[in-house]
């Protein structure tokens, strides 16, 4: 009996949603059990097929350049050994659930060199609430509207005009506040990073000379 454990077995047994990428961002493998149950509960059945995951690029799953760039920078810091690990809090809501999550990114070293990164996404708290349909699958929304609203990829705050008189200044509000303010439900979400997450997640990890 071999005592060797494969990285597949490690990913499969770790807590949360886990996946491993190489330097190019290519998805090497993932913990299928938790990944699939999360995908199914988020209209993501397409991602339960292995071929749609393994060998694909992490960056291709990120819809906007700003967020893609933030992950590229964080991954770069880990692959280059500038950071030992990176973790941050974020939200991953579904219409009926507020989900508070934590992401941990851990470098896997071999012979002193970082070969892979393990992403581990942990659900900290899931709170049921009346549905917020802005978090519905975007394909369904696309048929109904062309009204685009920017949402923060990390905290899910929404960018709205500061006031009706001043449509050039914006503020970022929580999805809850967006609804309280009578924000439209039939919108298309475009992703970005709010100033607070930019400061707390992106800037926090980036040494000044890499900016
Ligand atoms: Zn944010």
**What per-residue confidence (pLDDT) applies to 175?**
95
Quote the ligand 1 centre to 135 CA distance (angstroms): 16
Provide the pLDDT for residue 208.
60
Å from CA of 23 to ligand 1 middle? 26
| pLDDT less than 70: residues of the chain | 1, 164, 167, 207-211
Kindly give the distance from the C-alpha atom of residue 199 to the centroid of ligand 1, in angstroms, as a whole number. 9
Give 63-96 pLDDT, tens digit per residue.
Answer: 899 999 999 999 999 999 999 999 999 999 999 9
Strand blocks (E) in the chain:
17-21, 27-30, 86-91, 97-110, 113-128, 148-152, 158-161, 170-173, 188-192
Distance CA 188, CA 191 (A): 10
Q: Give the per-residue pLDDT at 207.
A: 64
Name the pairing type of β-strands 27-30 and 148-152: unpaired
Domains of the chain: 7-130 (3.30.450.20), 133-192 (no CATH)
Q: Which residues pair with 125 in a beta bridge?
A: 100
Rounded Cα distance between 170 and 81, Å, is 37
Q: Say which residues have a Cβ less than 8 Å from residue 208's Cβ, sequence separation at least 6.
A: none
CA of 172 relative to ligand 1 center, distance in Å: 8
Per-residue pLDDT, 80: 95
Quote the pTM value: 0.89
CA of 183 from ligand 1 middle (Å) equals 18
- C-alpha 18 – ligand 1 centre gap (Å): 23
Nearest to 54 by CA among 34, 32, 72: 32
Output the pLDDT for position 9: 94
Nearest Cα to Cα of residue 135 among 210, 79, 186: 186
Tell me how far the alpha carbon of residue 9 lies from the centroid of ligand 1, in angstroms.
34
- How far is the CA of 139 from the CAs of 86, 131, 183, 191, in angstroms? 32, 17, 20, 15
Alpha helix segments (H runs only) across 89-210: 138-142, 175-180, 195-197, 204-205
pLDDT digits (tens, 9 = 90+) for 128-151: 999 998 988 777 777 777 789 999
Q: Would you state the pLDDT for residue 209?
A: 59
Q: From the CA of 50, how far away is ligand 1's center (Å)?
A: 31
CA-closest candidate to residue 186, choices 155, 127, 137, 141: 141
**Cα(111) to centroid of ligand 1, in Å?**
37
DSSP three-state, residue 144:
coil
Q: How far is the CA of 195 from the centre of ligand 1 (A)?
A: 7
Using the mean position of ligand 1's atoms as its centre, give its distance from the Cα of residue 186 in Å. 21
């Amino acid at each position: 009996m071999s005592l060797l454990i494969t990285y597949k077995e490690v990913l499969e047994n770790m807590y949360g949603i886990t996946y491993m990428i190489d330097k190019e961002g290519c998805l090497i493998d993932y913990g299928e059990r938790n990944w699939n149950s999360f995908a199914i509960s988020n209209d993501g059945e397409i991602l339960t097929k292995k071929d749609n995951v393994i060998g694909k690029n992490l960056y291709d799953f990120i819809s906007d350049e700003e967020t893609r760039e933030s992950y590229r920078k964080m991954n770069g810091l880990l692959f280059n050994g500038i950071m030992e690990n990176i973790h941050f809090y974020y939200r991953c809501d579904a219409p009926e659930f507020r989900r508070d999550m934590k992401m941990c990114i851990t470098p896997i070293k071999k012979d002193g060199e970082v070969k892979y990164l393990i992403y581990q996404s942990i659900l900290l708290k899931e709170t049921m609430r009346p549905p917020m349909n802005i978090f519905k699958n975007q394909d369904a929304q696309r048929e109904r509207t062309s009204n685009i609203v920017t949402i923060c990829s990390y905290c899910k705050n929404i960018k709205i005009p500061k006031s009706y008189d001043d449509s050039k200044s914006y503020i970022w509000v929580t999805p809850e506040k967006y609804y309280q303010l009578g924000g439209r439900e039939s919108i298309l979400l475009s992703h970005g990073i709010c100033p607070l997450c930019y400061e707390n997640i992106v800037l926090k990890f980036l040494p000044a000379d890499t900016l």
